[in-house]
Each structure stands twice: as structure tokens, then as C-alpha cells.
């Protein structure tokens, strides 16, 4: 079964998740929280790349990388679909190799139970 990644849309959802738990690493910060009105058939996740990380081309590259890693993570590791996630990227995502980012992402999402 193909799992669909759905982006967060409500401002209230973003504010609520920012008050939840978080995990930091050198590439990004993951905020996660259980939302009340969440459908468990979808993975609610949003990727944020702030403007100070670069122009739109660089920010979109960061988002594409993170989305691709999450598609791999859905297929290869067990992700808790009860949570909604918010990933805020740091500038080291652009500078480091894809495989290193992927490895650390998998470790972080395996730790969320």
C-alpha cells in the first residue's frame, strides 16, 4: 500500500506541533505531536526551509531532498503515523551528502515511538 504524504495546512496545527516534542540534529529540527483530528492513513509532515538558507532554488532543493528521504523512510523503517511532524531545515542540509542526511534521518525517526 502506498502511503500518501500530506502537508500541514492550518496555522493552528503548526502552532500546536511547535509546542510538542522535538529532536535536534545538525541537519534539521523535528517537531512532533499527536493531533486530535488526524487521519492515520496519511503521514502528516511539513518541511520548512527558512529564507536565510538561500534563494528559492536552494530552499526547494532542500525540500525535495527531505521529501525523497521521507518516501524512502516510509518504505524501509516503521514510522509512527499517530504523530504529525514538522521538519525545519538547517543550512548544513545543502552542504552535506545525501547518504549522511538519510542515515541520520532514519535514526531519528526510529527513535520516535
Residue 1's pLDDT band, with cuts at 50, 70 and 90, is: low
Question: pTM of this prediction?
Answer: 0.88
At 85-98, the pLDDT tens digits run 999 999 999 989 99
Query: What is the domain-level CATH number for residue 84?
Result: 3.30.230.10
Angle subtended by helix axes 98-111 and 56-76, to nearest 10: 50
Phi, psi of 2 (to 5 degrees): -85, 125
Burial 45-63 (b: 16+ CB within 10 A, else e): bbbbbeeebeeeeebeebb
pLDDT value at residue 5: 82
Structural domain range at position 96 = 4-111
Residue 57's pLDDT band, with cuts at 50, 70 and 90, is: very high
At 76-85, the pLDDT tens digits run 888 888 889 9
- Specify the number of domains making up the chain: 1
pLDDT value at residue 111: 87
At 11-45, the pLDDT tens digits run 888 898 999 999 999 999 999 998 777 677 788 89
Give CA–CA dist 96/14, Å, rounded: 27
Amino acid at each position: 500500500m502506498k502511503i500518501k504524504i500530506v502537508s500541514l495546512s492550518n496555522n493552528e496545527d503548526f502552532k500546536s506541533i511547535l509546542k510538542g516534542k522535538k529532536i535536534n540534529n545538525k541537519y534539521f529540527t523535528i517537531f512532533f505531536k499527536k493531533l486530535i483530528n488526524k487521519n492515520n492513513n496519511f503521514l502528516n509532515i511539513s518541511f520548512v526551509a527558512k529564507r536565510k538558507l538561500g534563494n528559492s532554488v536552494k530552499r526547494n532543493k532542500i525540500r525535495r531532498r527531505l521529501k525523497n528521504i521521507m518516501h524512502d523512510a516510509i518504505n524501509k523503517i516503521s514510522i509512527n503515523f499517530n504523530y504529525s511532524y514538522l521538519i525545519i531545515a538547517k543550512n548544513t542540509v545543502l552542504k552535506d551528502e545525501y547518504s549522511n542526511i538519510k542515515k541520520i534521518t532514519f535514526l531519528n525517526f526510529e527513535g520516535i515511538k
